[in-house]
Chains A and B, each alone.
Chain A
Amino acid sequence: AQSVTQLGSHVSVSEGALVLLRCNYSSSVPPYLFWYVQYPNQGLQLLLKYTTGATLVKGINGFEAEFKKSETSFHLTKPSAHMSDAAEYFCAVGGSSASKIIFGSGTRLSIRP
Chain B
Amino acid sequence: DAGVIQSPRHEVTEMGQEVTLRCKPISGHNSLFWYRQTMMRGLELLIYFNNNVPIDDSGMPEDRFSAKMPNASFSTLKIQPSEPRDSAVYFCASSELAGGPNNEQFFGPGTRLTVL
Contact = CB atoms under 8 A, between A and B. Distances in A.
Interface stretch (B12-20, B63-71, B73-81, B106-114): B106-114
B26 interface: no
B48 A49 contact: no
Contacts, number: 57
B27 interface: no
A95 B99 contact: yes
B22 to A, nearest CB: 15
Interface residues of B, number: 23
Interface in A43-64: 43-46, 49, 51-52
Interface residues of A, number: 23
Contact of A32 (B33, B93, B101, B109): B101
Nearest to A101: B105
Contacts of B55: 99-100
B25 to A, nearest CB: 13
A100 B98 contact: yes
Interface in B41-62: 42-43, 45, 48, 50, 55-56
A96 B110 contact: no
A70 interface: no
